[in-house]
Amino acid sequence: MLSKKLEKILPLVQKPGRYTGGELNSVVKDKNSVAIRYAFCFPDTYEIGMSHLGMKILYSLANARDDTWCERVFAPWVDMENLMRRKGIPLYALESGDPICEFDLIGFTLQYELSYSNVLNMLDLAGLPIKAADRTSLTPIVIGGGPCVCNAEPVAEFFDLFLPGEGEEISGEVIDLLKEHKMKGSSKAEFLLAASKIKGVYVPSLYEVLHKADGTIDSVTPLQNAPEKVQKSLVKDLNGMFAPDSFVVPFLEIVHDRVTVEIFRGCIRGCRFCQAGFLYRPVREKSADTVNLQCKALCENTGYDEVSLCSLSTSDYTEINRLLTGLLDWTVEDKVNISLPSLRADNFPEELMAKLAEVRRSGLTFAPEAGTQRLRDAINKNVTEEEVLSTVRKAYEGGWTAVKLYFMTGLPTETMEDIDAIAELAQKTVDEYYKNPDKPKGKGVSVSVSAASFVPKPFTPFQWEAQDTVELLEEKQDYLKNAVKTRKVSVGRHNAKTSFLEGVFARGDRRLSKVIETAVRKGCRFDGWDDQFRFDLWQEAFRECGLSPEFYANRKRSFDEILPWDHMDYLVSKAFLINENKKAHKPVTTPNCREKCSGCGAGALCGGVCDAAD
Amino acid sequence: MRPIRVWFSKTGNAKYISHLDLNRAMTRAVRRAHIPLWYTEGFNPHPYITFALPLSLGQESAAEPMDIRIESDMENIEIKKRLSSVMPEGIEITGVSEPESGASEICYAEYEIILEFADSGEAANFAMRAAELVSRNGLAAQKPGKQGRQKVLKQVELKDYIAGFNAVNKNENVLLTAVLSAGSTKNLNPALLLETLYSATAVSAGAEKITRKRLLKADFEPFR
């Protein structure tokens, strides 16, 4: 189904398999027999986008409808984009090869702030005006979903509507409404007004934002009876929720090339830096039986030989042992491996370790996040050094010889002492290995320390905090590198400038739209890729637009400032977040949701009780 | 344990599946097929799958052999049926047989190449000149190779690798059939032959479709 023009350029690009479609389980329908054509766009490469579970779920869900054909679109890599522009090939969808400008619905998933430039570039490559106001016909409607939608203000001008929260149920309502208005021959304005009446739909053009002279927000006024606050959507029952029984199986090797099944949503922990921990509240579990059946069906339909259980903090799953027992019943026979990507250092039972040892052994990763107990208390990472070391000890006894430790630098209240402590903790982790009398002969230990730069995010207790400057973050990275004295420990660096820009957009406002547009015109794209990131061009764009990125990243806000995302409601109350912020500065910890409910407000949608409060 | 040879064609979009990706795709396909696969007995058991001769990215094939091993004596016809039902688009199972010879016996491959030129004049010119160049005594080409660790361009004499060649033009197309050395010791990729012909004739095709038709042994008998 590839056009002749495309056939001519494919031999000239890297990994042509990214652009051909035709993978196993991809859905092809007759375009004349559907009412809605839906282009699901992931603003990054094929390998990244195809690894994303949310896309797999929403793709299968939309295609389960007879009236809709949902197709996949990824950002073409630079070499392909250049050739497409030169040969006049517009951005097309993989299943049909048709240009997406002809589609009814174009959905972007916004997973990462630094993919914003790709969104604009993809709209442009599709031949569409990038600004929503300049796309005057009813279709295509451009919608956005994903975690960044909790503050989508920096890209508000480019989208027609956003779906904050979980998309499973609400996206179907939007498709229904669009179908109805398409048949009626409505104008775009009529459709958007009707959409704004659906609970959980945010139409940014129906909100007027005014700024004060100092750049902060003066007021946000809903127009035409749009709701004062847009509440996120939520799936109440994960067992009854749609779950795909097959995945598109790519030919190329992608980042997460395996069956992935979600075991629960939300997190009981309340780590104060973690946006996901607050955005996805409350905790809702899927039953072990449901997970087991879904894993089995997916393996059957894809031929994958690895299953990954997906959630925040996997070891908090109440049925973890029952689930692993159930999985081992058939995975051993079928030669399928199980991986658990997100484990905590404080509740890693020996039983679980033994079960994991039965399946294939990969590296173990733990995230103490901070070096000192004081800072771990401040960020509410309720893990003690003894817990980290005892877990590592168990891992060594179980035969592991490589451990990854995740830390953050630039956390609020951090000092150089806290950085020293990261190096010390890494050293203790190494020492623990040599204390083990049964350690494998002739085998050393390798501890890799990854120190990411902290980025304050909306809807966390740290949403008011100043981010460390690029200079300070780089100084801390150098300091850590020098503090590590052994070759058994390797330290991974993150680009501080990338984290800085991420911080700008995470808490940005609508004025940033013109900066993003300017930067894209200058050639910025794939900003999350170090080899493509052009910080100089971004700086130019900020200067030309007369805006200071430091205003967004490095400024501490007061509790009474109107924040750009205040008209979004993610259930967690501001009073709770303020209280958590104050506790961080003391520092005082907050118990996890299962120990004691802290009244964050997230249980409201589930009738006041969430799983965690039981 | 019984070794079997599965024959498949790889056409259309499947030509963009690289050799490495094909290996993975086939491993998953045989897992989906529920045939009694034999697994290797190491720490990380995996099905035994090998391909006699990798096919270049962008080239199609009418008959590629894939060797697998099975545990029981399931009939070939049943294996073919099960495999056929799980193949991705563009890959079709054409047969299942007992291997008669080993991969090292492959000496030649027969290719069918369809080239599309700007117009019929250019096509006629290319077909004539190409036939001439191949029938001459020497046809030198530059092949990227290595000297120690350094990457260098090596001079190779293509004539030593061409066992058969024919070119006919029709309208703006040229149909080439070529029997070229193939295998682990002596191998000529048809893409290199085309490149050499383009630079020698100073005309190049706007589109090319390369299909490997079959694999041959030293005596030009088909590899089975």
Strand, helix or coil at A145?
strand
Counting residues of chain A whose pLDDT is more than 70, the rounded percentage is: 95
Does residue A460 form part of some domain? yes
The model's pLDDT over A407-417, given as tens digits with 9 standing for 90+, comes to 999 999 999 99
Range of the domain at A328: 259-494+571-585
CATH code (residue A149): 3.40.50.280
Q: Which chain A residues touch B207 with a CB distance below 8 Å?
A: 4, 7-8
Please tell me the number of Cα atoms within 13 Å of A488 on its side-chain side. Answer: 20
Same domain, A165 and A283: no
Query: How long is chain B?
Result: 224
The model's pLDDT over A562-591, given as tens digits with 9 standing for 90+, comes to 999 999 999 999 999 999 999 999 999 999
Supply the pLDDT for residue A607: 64
Same domain, A210 and A285: no
Averaged pLDDT, A324-337: 89
Q: Which chain B residues touch A302 with a CB distance below 8 Å?
A: 28, 32
Bigger pLDDT: B214 or A355?
B214
> Among the listed ranges A391-400, A427-436, B127-136, B178-187, which one has the minimum average pLDDT value?
A391-400
pLDDT at position A443 over 90: no
Among A161, A120, A157, which Cα is nearest to A140's? A161
pLDDT at position A319 over 80: yes
* Residue A97 sits at the chain B interface (C-beta within 8 Å): no
> Among the listed ranges A347-351, B8-12, B211-215, which one has the minimum average pLDDT value?
A347-351
Does residue A42 form part of some domain? yes
Supply the pLDDT for residue A576: 96
Same domain, A141 and A283: no
Chain A residue with CA closest to B57: the answer is A11
Using CA atoms, how far residue A366 sits from A346, A418, B58, in Å, is: 10, 18, 43
Among A229, A205, A206, A208, which Cα is nearest to A217's? A208
Q: How many of the other CB atoms lie within 10 Å of CB of A217?
A: 18
**pLDDT bucket at A15, cuts 50 / 70 / 90:** very high
The model's pLDDT over A20-41, given as tens digits with 9 standing for 90+, comes to 999 999 999 999 999 999 999 9
* Residue A4 sits at the chain B interface (C-beta within 8 Å): yes
Test mutation, A5, A14, A24, A96, chain B, max B CBs within 10 A:
A24
Same domain, A150 and A270: no
Q: Which chain B residues touch A24 with a CB distance below 8 Å?
A: 25, 28-29, 88-89
* Residue A441 sits at the chain B interface (C-beta within 8 Å): no
The model's pLDDT over A132-152, given as tens digits with 9 standing for 90+, comes to 999 999 999 999 999 999 999
Averaged pLDDT, A333-347: 75
> Among the listed ranges A170-179, A181-190, A240-249, A360-369, which one has the minimum average pLDDT value?
A360-369
The model's pLDDT over A174-200, given as tens digits with 9 standing for 90+, comes to 999 999 999 999 999 999 999 999 999
Q: Which chain B residues touch A251 with a CB distance below 8 Å?
A: 16-18, 21-22, 24-25, 88
Does residue A240 form part of some domain? no
Same domain, A218 and A263: no
Cα gap B11→B25, rounded to integer Å: 15
Same domain, A221 and A266: no
Same domain, A95 and A157: yes
Same domain, A277 and A315: yes
Averaged pLDDT, A261-284: 95
Cα gap A539→A135, rounded to integer Å: 29
Domains by residue range for chain B, with CATH: 2-99 (3.30.70.580), 105-217 (3.30.70)
Does residue A41 form part of some domain? yes
Cα gap B200→B126, rounded to integer Å: 10
Measure in Å the smallest separation between the Cα of A24 and chain B Cα atoms: 5
Per the structure, the count of domains in chain A is 2
CB neighbours of B193 closer than 8 A, spacing ≥ 6?
B141, B158, B162, B178, B180
Same domain, A215 and A295: no
Among A538, A543, A520, A540, which Cα is nearest to A130's? A520
Does residue A509 form part of some domain? no
Among A328, A327, A373, A322, which Cα is nearest to A346's? A373
CATH code (residue A466): 3.80.30.20
pLDDT at position A389 over 70: yes
Same domain, A220 and A263: no
User: In this predicted complex, what is the ipTM?
Assistant: 0.87
Same domain, A209 and A294: no
Same domain, A87 and A216: yes
Supply the pLDDT for residue A439: 78
Does residue A399 form part of some domain? yes
Test mutation, B18, B31, B59, B194, chain A, max A CBs within 10 A:
B31
